[in-house]
A = this chain, B = another copy of it.
Amino acid sequence: MASLIYGVKDVRPVDGKPIFTIDRILGLDEGEQYRKIKPYRPWADSEAGQGHVVPKTKEALEKDTNEKERTLTTQLFTESYQKPLKWYIGRRPRTAFTSLQIEILESIFQVNYYPGIDVREELAKQLHLDEDRIQIWFQNRRAKLKRSHRESQFLMVKKAFVEDN
């Protein structure tokens, strides 16, 4: 049966074959030499490699650069260079909740910011969603509430400050 160890294609070819073979793009090629251990993410099953972009060298970049830009570019280059590219391969497809689902989630949130596992499971069943999604939804919802609190507090402080002067 399915193991939690998932075989995922590296984005770079290690065998000298072109990156964009049909099989590679469709994720159908066998005999990949390097495999990575990744979390179990069925929705990433047939994910294609993302390819890679070769950045300009420092020299090439500076060659392109005119006098005006040079200071800034040089200044920023050291910090910018060599930072890796995160492609977030295998990210779960964004869930699009229906308005009814949102309304019901909101109505629960109104009375309880922290529904326990039982409630989440029940919601999942009734709304035809995974319990994971419910959990994440409440987490993001709490963050949103907190943001709005911070903002209104900021406005109140600002208002009080202005009125004092």
Contacts and interface: CB of A to CB of B under 8 A. Distances in A.
Contacts of A37: 144-145, 148
A83 to B, nearest CB: 5
Contact of A123 (B5, B81, B112): B5
Given A20-B156, A126-B72, A162-B50, A55 B110 contact: yes
Interface residues of A, number: 80
B55 A111 contact: yes
Contact of A118 (B4, B25, B107, B160): B4
A114 interface: yes
A26 to B, nearest CB: 7
Contact of A110 (B32, B112, B116): B32
Interface in A12-38: 12-14, 19-22, 24-27, 32, 34-35, 37-38
Given A61-B110, A145-B37, A103 B72 contact: no
Contacts of A56: 110-111
28 contacts: A3-B122, A5-B108, A8-B118, A10-B115, A10-B119, A11-B111, A11-B119, A13-B111, A22-B157, A22-B161, A24-B107, A25-B104, A25-B153, A25-B157, A50-B149, A51-B149, A55-B110, A56-B111, A64-B107, A65-B107, A69-B100, A72-B104, A72-B126, A76-B108, A76-B122, A76-B123, A80-B119, A81-B111
